[in-house]
Amino acid sequence: MGISLAVIEKLQELGLCGGGRTSVLDIGSSNLYSASADGIQRFLAAHGVPISPEVTAFAEKLARGSTYDPVSGGVNNSFVGELFEKAGMKYDAIDIADGYGTTILDLNHTPAPPHFVGAFDLVLNFGTTEHLLNQYNAFRVMHDSTKVGGYIVNSLPAVGYSDHGYITYTPRFFFDLAGYNEYELVGFWFEGPGGNNDLYAPIRNYQTYFPNLASTLSDREITETGRKVAALEIPDVGILVVYRKVKSRPFMGAIETSTSVGNVPASVTASYEPAEQKQGGGAPARDPRAATGVNADSIARHDEIVLAGEAQRLRELFVAKKLGIDECLQFYNLVLQAHGGFPHDWEYNVLLLGLEREPGRDDLIRRLAIVRDLLAVESSFPVKP
């Protein structure tokens, strides 16, 4: 996983980093590739970092570690997070292995950590999700982690990459994902072409484990289809797509129905509609208080959390139960930025508001159950026996 300085500069030209956009989440801790010392210093200067001997030394070191060859790859001694942090931005990464600025998280199974939800101006997915089976969870984590008004950038394989990861993506995938989640499509580009794929290479690589693949390799020489496939020279082509998240709403995924042989019933399609568009039917809404057994008639002030300005104003209104769900999410982001966490009794009440707007959402009910268990050991919050 890596991002070239040229791509970072392109993101900057689009206004995606800088200009008040200071928090970055990297889906996979990315190396920095193909950066010159002069280019690094220009990027830093654009973010208000003056040139100095220390900055020059930093730029030269980062440039040396960013060397990349399309065949042999990179030396992997420089990280995108180093550049962003030097420019004054907050950087976090999610990965299954320890890396630069990394929170260990299995994107196949695990939701976004609570303190990541709605916390990031820019979420980057440069060559990570193609290595995952659970695409739904991975893209939900990105959606949930992005602030309203923030950007999601995907740079992923589309054509070729025959022995790389599990997934290649179609334009339809990205367009449908944008449509169902009401993202603004800021930009879409193809990257490449490069390389030359031997489609039989994975067969040879796995033959030791699966002996029956020997017959597939024999077909390469003796069948017309095998010979034609073996003669193909398929390049690697990637897709780079930029979304802007414009609404505070749950991740919807996408459903592709173009090859369905009949009508898709409402019992299926209702799961992909915003709550305000759903028309009856389905299971009755569950009472979230009954689901958790927590008494949430009052909200503690939590004066130990030092807030100022807009955050302090919103705290007064929140404690007085005068905030709607959208303002609560704004308050949530401000508290995370100032404090690094969000009290569980506050979170409980935000979840209740979410369920008032979207009754029966299983993910909110599941989170309520978790919060209830956490509150059960916190003496400051009353829990029903």
Question: Are 226 and 295 part of one and the same domain?
Answer: no
pLDDT at 275: 58
Asked if residue 364 is part of any domain, the answer here is yes
Asked if residue 46 is part of any domain, the answer here is no
Overall number of domains in the chain = 2
Question: Are 136 and 201 part of one and the same domain?
Answer: yes
Instruction: Give the C-alpha separation, 265 to 22, whole Å.
Output: 44
Question: Are 302 and 176 part of one and the same domain?
Answer: no
For residue 342, what is the DSSP state?
Answer: -
Question: Are 7 and 121 part of one and the same domain?
Answer: yes
pLDDT at 19: 65
For residue 18, what is the DSSP state?
Answer: B
| Verdict on whether the full-model pTM lies above 0.85 | no
Residues 213/207, Cβ–Cβ less than 8 Å: yes
Other Cβ atoms less than 10 A from the Cβ of 57: the count is 11
SS3 assignment, position 19: coil
Question: Which residue, 189, 212, 244, sits at the end of a domain?
Answer: 244
Residues 6+ apart with CB under 8 A from 52: none
- Cα 351 to chain centroid distance, Å, stands at 21
Asked if residue 44 is part of any domain, the answer here is no
Question: Are 200 and 106 part of one and the same domain?
Answer: yes
SS3 assignment, position 141: helix
pLDDT at 269: 78
Question: Are 98 and 215 part of one and the same domain?
Answer: yes
Residue 148 structure tokens = 């309203």
Other Cβ atoms less than 10 A from the Cβ of 333: the count is 19
Which CATH number goes with the domain that contains 108?
A: 3.40.50.150
pLDDT at 136: 95
Question: Are 240 and 292 part of one and the same domain?
Answer: no
- Give the number of residues written for the chain: 385
Question: Are 22 and 93 part of one and the same domain?
Answer: yes
Question: Are 226 and 87 part of one and the same domain?
Answer: yes
Asked if residue 383 is part of any domain, the answer here is no
Question: Are 126 and 236 part of one and the same domain?
Answer: yes
Instruction: Split the chain (385 residues) into runs of 10 and give each run's mean pLDDT.
Output: 90 82 91 94 93 95 85 77 94 93 94 92 96 96 94 96 94 93 94 92 94 92 92 95 92 86 79 60 37 57 89 91 89 85 88 86 82 64 37
Instruction: Give the C-alpha separation, 133 to 141, whole Å.
Output: 14
Residues 6/189, Cβ–Cβ less than 8 Å: no
Question: Are 233 and 292 part of one and the same domain?
Answer: no
Give the range of the structural domain holding residue 354, as residue numbers without chain letter. Answer: 288-375
Question: Are 182 and 301 part of one and the same domain?
Answer: no
Question: Which residue, 190, 219, 244, sits at the end of a domain?
Answer: 244
